Structure 1
Amino acid sequence: MTPRMQIVWDVLEAAKGNNDATVISACRRLIEANRLGWKKHANPTDWALVQGFAA
């Protein structure tokens, strides 16, 4: 697993614990983007949101 995806999964688990639907949705979209091709499918806004919660 890449460090980027480790961040996404860690943030997803924390968001589930806090019932934060916005962050959960962003993480799920990024997981799907990773499967389809990050450069074409990842939303920079979702990534910024996840990074903000990872810090």
Structure 2
Amino acid sequence: MEGTYSKYYKDVTQDEIGMQKLFKQFSFPKGISSHVAPETPGSIHEGGELGYSL
């Protein structure tokens, strides 16, 4: 909602249509992962405490 995702994925805009597209892709086959993934901008790897130290 603050713009980082839209910066990297131009088709997911910060309006109602873009948000609908984001929500439809979330945790859907070949969509957006429901957990931290390399393609999620700004994500912190959930590998225990080591993830936060990186």
Same fold (TM over 0.5): no
| TM value normalised by structure 1 | 0.29
By relative contact order (CA 8 Å, sep 6+), the higher-ranking structure is: 1
- Decide which structure has greater helix share: 1
